């Protein structure tokens, strides 16, 4: 049976920006595992109900169904023990978990302030009302009020301090070659990078260099990703 | 030859509050390695000049001399490969390094705002002018202006979000038993705990419980540590 990953798309079916799906795509590539990406939109809850979730990524691997990006990364380590590990086990796994919470709670919220309105226009038109309603309820303000690139950059700079410090002494967060910690952060930066109308989102050379290096991995998967800027160029909107 | 750790002391020779020395003490205990603590004060630079540093911890292990807490933890893993690992190697080591930068840049500064003035009075009287001058130059304001427990608690709560999330699913940051990531954070909280005139510094049960559990490890080393509150009780000041 095929390996299938449900992957969020936006205003163009090739516009793929979910940070969590990007994590999993990098993890699969790290292990040399092929996958078929199944395009999915925010409100297509029925299509993934079989996985007992309403969010992507959802991985179907033969008869195994796994939801949640961190769970999928752990599943891949367990199911394919002969491939290079992504999260590792024991303390290594725990430290990756700690870092994933850090990315979700400190890095992604800062990025969201930078690209909130860009993200809205990157989303499929049929999903925009849904996105606005759910996010405005969560933030307690309008997307327009939440959108604050300058404040976001200040928070981002502070949040990335530990990352900056590590990248001064090694080319990747996980060392000489990229690993799970790199993919956890890469997903969030890729998300902002795909939807941003004004790249680059990352203003610091040491982190931007790391991001560009990762974009070149796995046949340049990140470099080949369609961005909102490509669409603007092609379609003029 | 003996194993000796230079360890910062304050207004009482038994008052030991350096976060970096606490990390190393926990790492040594984790490995079952004895150590003789050599009391040291901020301005006794000459006493540790042989280690090419002006800060503790400095470990003398036979003819090996190692400075910097993270380097010492790594040295102990290398020098005693048959003892339980503290930092690990490869991605595990890198993720511990990332976490140590996070603790130093986000957690410790928040704790310092909570205990800045308590710390000043915990320091040996002969060191207070030195401490005030160096810290005020670093912060760009007086210690009295920097001291802001309420603001510190707000920053601390935010900084500890990833820690809180992990401790909801495992008893220690590194999993079922404590490891390097636990000791990195423990050192900073112990530092604030020793000097705080108003314990507990940690207001959240899930993190305070973890801290208390760690204080009970290794013959209750953390529980037996002299605090400023003990001194106030004994000496009334």
Q: Is the pLDDT of residue A1 over 80?
A: no
Show Cβ contacts of residue A85 under 8 Å, excluding neighbours closer than 6 positions. A77, A179, A180, B91
Q: Are strands A36-40 and A3-8 parallel, antiparallel or unpaired?
A: parallel
Q: Before A9, cis peptide (omega within 30)?
A: no
- In the numeric block, which tokens belong to residue B74? 């790594």
How many CB atoms are closer than 10 A to CB A134?
11
Contact A98 B180 (CB under 8 A): no
Q: What would the pLDDT profile of B97-139 be if each residue is shown by its tens digit?
A: 999 999 999 999 999 999 999 999 999 999 999 999 999 999 9
Residue A147 and residue A114: Cα distance in Å, rounded? Answer: 6
pLDDT digits (tens, 9 = 90+) for A14-44: 999 999 999 999 999 999 999 999 999 999 9
Mean pLDDT of chain B: 96
A154-190 pLDDT, tens digit per residue, is 999 999 999 999 999 999 999 999 999 999 999 999 9
Q: What is the pLDDT of residue B232?
A: 85
Residue with the bigger pLDDT between A237 and B24: it is B24
Smallest CA–CA distance, residue B38 to chain A, in Å, is 31
| Contacting residues of B for A96, CB less than 8 Å apart | 91, 95
Phi-psi category of B148—alpha, beta or left, where left has phi over 0 and alpha has psi -120 to 50? beta
Task: Give the nearest partner residue to A174 out of B85, B91, B181, using CB atoms.
Answer: B91
Whether B94 and A166 lie within 8 Å, measured CB to CB: yes
Other C-beta atoms within 10 Å of A232: how many?
12
Question: Dmax of chain A from CA atoms?
Answer: 50
Over 70: is that where the pLDDT of B188 sits?
Answer: yes
* pLDDT, position A67: 98
User: What share of residues in chain B are helix, strand, coil (percent, to 5)?
Assistant: 60, 10, 30
A98, A179, A181: best mutation site toward chain B, by most B Cβ within 10 Å?
A98
Q: Report pLDDT for B2.
A: 85
Asked whether the whole model's pTM tops 0.90, one would answer yes
User: B180 in contact with A at a CB cutoff of 8 Å?
Assistant: yes
Q: What percent of chain B has pLDDT over 90?
A: 95
Q: For residue range B16-43, list pLDDT tens digits in order.
A: 999 999 999 999 999 999 999 999 999 9
**Model confidence over A175-228: pLDDT tens digits?**
999 999 999 999 999 999 999 998 889 989 999 999 999 999 999 999 999 999
Return d(Cα B112, Cα B100) in angstroms, integer: 16
Q: What is the pLDDT at residue B79?
A: 98
Predicted pLDDT at A142:
96
Q: How confident is the model at residue B237 (pLDDT cuts 50, 70, 90)?
A: low
**A9 CA: distance to closest CA in chain B (Å):** 29
Query: Rounded to an integer, what distance in angstroms lies between the CA atom of residue A32 and that of residue A22?
Result: 15
What average pLDDT does chain A have? 96
**Would you give the DSSP letter of residue A106?**
I
**Given a cut of 80, is residue A237 above it in pLDDT?**
no
| Across B188-196, average pLDDT | 97
* A152 within 8 A of A114, measured Cβ to Cβ: yes
* Residue A235: band (very low, low, confident or very high) from pLDDT cuts 50, 70, 90: confident
ipTM: 0.96
Q: Which residues share a beta bridge with A38? A: A6
Q: What is the mean pLDDT of residues B39-50?
A: 96
Q: Quick one: tokens of B134?
A: 């160096």
Q: In terms of CA atoms, which chain B residue is nearest residue A85?
A: B91
Q: What is the average per-residue pLDDT within B209-216?
A: 98
B152, two tokens: 């510190």
- Is residue A174 reached through a cis peptide bond, with omega within 30 degrees of 0 on the bond before it? no
Mean pLDDT for the stretch of residues A136-148: 95
pLDDT at B1: 61
């Amino acid at each position: 049976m095929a390996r299938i990953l449900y992957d969020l798309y936006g205003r163009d079916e090739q516009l793929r920006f979910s940070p969590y799906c990007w994590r999993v795509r990098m993890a699969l590539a790290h292990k040399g595992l092929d996958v078929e990406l199944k395009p999915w939109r925010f409100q297509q809850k029925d299509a993934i109900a079989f996985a007992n979730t309403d969010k992507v990524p959802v991985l179907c691997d033969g008869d195994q169904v796994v939801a949640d990006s961190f769970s999928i990364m752990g599943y891949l380590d367990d199911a394919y023990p002969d491939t290079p590990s992504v999260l590792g086990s024991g303390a290594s796994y725990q430290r990756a978990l700690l870092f994933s919470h850090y990315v979700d709670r400190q890095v992604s919220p800062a990025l969201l302030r930078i690209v909130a309105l860009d993200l809205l226009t990157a989303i499929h038109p049929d999903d925009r009302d849904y996105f606005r309603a759910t996010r405005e309820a969560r933030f307690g303000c309008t997307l327009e009020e939440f959108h604050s690139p300058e404040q976001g950059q200040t928070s981002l700079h502070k949040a990335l301090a530990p990352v900056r410090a590590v990248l001064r002494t090694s080319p990747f967060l996980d060392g000489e070659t990229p690993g799970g910690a790199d993919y956890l952060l890469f997903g969030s930066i890729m998300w902002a990078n795909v939807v941003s109308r004004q790249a680059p989102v990352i203003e610091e050379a040491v982190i931007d260099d790391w991001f560009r290096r990762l974009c070149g991995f796995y046949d340049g998967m990140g470099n080949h990703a369609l961005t909102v800027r490509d669409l603007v160029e092609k379609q003029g909107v």
